[in-house]
Homo-oligomer: A and B are copies of this chain.
Amino acid sequence: MLDICLLGTGGMMPLPYRWLTSMMARCGGSSLLIDCGEGTQVALKEKGWSPKPIDIICFTHYHADHISGLPGLLLTMGNAERTEPVVLMGPKGLERVVTALRCIAPELPFELRFAELEEGQQQFHIGPYVIDAYRVNHNVLCYGYCISIPRAGRFDMERAKKQSVPMKAWSRLQKGETVEIGGICYTPDMVLGPERKGLKVTYCTDTRPVPVIGEYAKDADLFICEGMYGEDGKEVKAREYKHMTMYEAAQLACKAQPGEMWLTHYSPSLTHPEEYMDKVRKIFPQAKAARDGWTVSLTFEEEEENPTG
Contact = CB atoms under 8 A, between A and B. Distances in A.
Contacts of A105: 64
Interface residues of A, number: 31
Given A16-B45, A38-B41, A104 B67 contact: yes
Contacts of A103: 62, 96-97, 100-101
Closest 8 A-B residue pairs measured CB to CB? Answer: A64-B104, A100-B103, A100-B100, A16-B46, A38-B72, A64-B71, A14-B42, A13-B76
A103 B62 CA distance: 9
Contact of A39 (B12, B39, B100): B39
B14 A72 contact: yes
Copies of the protein in its oligomer: 2
A15 B42 CA distance: 6
Given A72-B65, A97-B103, A79 B41 contact: no
B41 A75 contact: no
A68 interface: yes
A159 interface: no
Contacts of A104: 62-64, 67-68, 97, 101
Contacts of A42: 14-16, 38-39
B101 A12 contact: no
A69 interface: yes
B64 A72 contact: yes
Given A103-B100, A104-B62, A104-B64, A39 B14 contact: yes
Interface in A223-271: none
A45 B42 CA distance: 16
Contact of A68 (B12, B15, B72, B79): B72
